Amino acid sequence: MSSAAAGSPAHILAFPFSSPGHIIPFLDLTRLFITRGLTVTVLVSPSHVHLLQPMLSSSSSIQPLVLDCFDSFQSASGLPAKIRATARLYDPILHWFRSHPSPPVAILSDMFLGWTQQLASELGVPRLVFWPSGALTASVSNSQWRNLPKNDYPGNENSLISFPEIPNSPTYRWSEITPFCRDFKKGDADYEFLRSGMLANMESWGVVFNSFSELESVYLDHIKKIVGHNRVWAVGPLLPPEERVGPTNRGGSSSIPAYRVKAWLDEKADDSVVYICFGSRVTLPRKQTEVLAAALECSGVHFIWCVKAADEGRVGSEDGGIPDGFEDRVGERGFIIRGWAAQVEILSHRAVGAFVTHCGWNSLLEGLTAGVLMLTWPMGADQFTDAKLLVDQLGVAIRACEGGPQRVPDLAELTRLLAESVSGSRPERSRVAALREAARKAVNANGGSSTKDLEELLKQLGGLIKDGRKINETNY
């Protein structure tokens, strides 16, 4: 992407949510900001400061802000409680702003941090919300939180809930609705706080998505109608620059040296390897793990399987570790990674042709950008929405399993899908190749749609300062 707003050294406060799926793309966006002349202060917990190190070592335009009380809410139980606990940072941030010799002209914060809308208002600066997920997810989320869904057939997890006000009228099973909306606890302080924050996102001065117009134009337009303005920017896919593809610590260090993974892949034919990963948080239940292992064994495909190291070897656990003897039986056909995997590097290798994924948004974008055929296996959160976008609307993926942790795929069907995914016979493969080109063009420096949105965003941020003073403060 080309430089923009070169004469506008705006200073912003960036506040990511401390979760891998949120903080990784947030920091990818931060990197774009500082390479284009912005000054960015990033509010991070002590445990995540190391993720800033590549930028800190190469630029003076970024500074970490680590507040003493940051870790006080990390032990809160459950997502609503964790989100509400982050508001303990309200007064410390307020004090930091007011004592700073050159305070930020705007706050960019994660979609889980909707309470920063009030903070920004008190400070007289605009707040921009960053969605690490897509515009379809944001549309469904807003609809659910604004009008909490109801199940007309209590006890029926397959009861259908539709959203006719959203383009293409998406429909979901009751079990696929966000659990915090489905089981909303009216009067509970944590749940009420979460809901008010999610609704506040649509009151923000600007909305930034890790998406691109060729992927979600109809939903980006829908968001503009909801917020009532055009300050909605799609700047994705947010990924490390291609010249840095290789060993990186983006999000963490790989549990296996990159050269070992690459050496194994180098020996395989083009598009012949299936990569399996369910993200940094999802753990397959034991029954699903057993069926997946059996399907990999029966299909005869070459594969890389990333499993969470903490879930291996836990006696009596309902979570699934690799079955005993599995690695010996598959031999050189399989490569097991326990712990963090360098996913972008693996997917970009010529030998990888298919991706069994939980459909987290980061994984979805990484799979699309790599041009691999995806087999969808959503487990929760926005993953059901992402899977429907891939399969039903874009036609670039195949359903492998759906319905979350309670559903177990059919062994014969999964075996067939794994074999077909690398055979080259599926029509989805040509469609994902076309979308791959669209994703790459979006971030092209010469007029890509995401490049244009990023440049407009930078221009707007630069316009917030004039002669060293914030302008139009009363509008925020």
Catalytic positions, written as ranges: 22, 110
For the chain, give the longest Cα–Cα distance. 70
φ, ψ dihedrals at 162, nearest 5°: -110, 160
**Inter-CA distances, 62 with 10, 14, 57, 116, 210, Å:** 12, 10, 10, 21, 21
Residue 101, classed as helix, strand or coil, is coil
Residue 208, classed as helix, strand or coil, is strand
Question: Could you count the other beta carbons within 10 Å of the beta carbon of residue 257?
Answer: 12
Q: How far apart are the first and last CA of the chain?
A: 29
Q: Report which secondary-structure segment, H or E, holds 23.
A: helix 20-34
Question: Could you count the other beta carbons within 10 Å of the beta carbon of residue 68?
Answer: 8
Q: Which residues of 185-196 are buried (b: 16+ CB within 10 A; e: fewer)?
A: eeeeebbebbbe
**Pairing label, strands 39-43, 302-307:** unpaired
- Beta-strand runs (E) in 11-163: 11-15, 39-43, 62-65, 106-110, 127-131, 160-162
Of 234, 276, 293, 285, whose CA–CA distance to 415 is shortest? Answer: 293
Question: Could you count the other beta carbons within 10 Å of the beta carbon of residue 221?
Answer: 14
φ, ψ dihedrals at 54, nearest 5°: -60, -35
Of 286, 244, 265, 285, whose CA–CA distance to 349 is shortest? Answer: 265
Q: Measured between alpha carbons, how far is 398 from 432 in angstroms, rounded to an integer?
A: 11
Q: For residue 375, list its beta bridge partners.
A: 356, 398
Of 354, 305, 345, whose CA–CA distance to 327 is shortest? Answer: 305
Of 131, 144, 207, whose CA–CA distance to 362 is shortest? Answer: 131
Of 183, 199, 228, whose CA–CA distance to 141 is shortest? Answer: 199
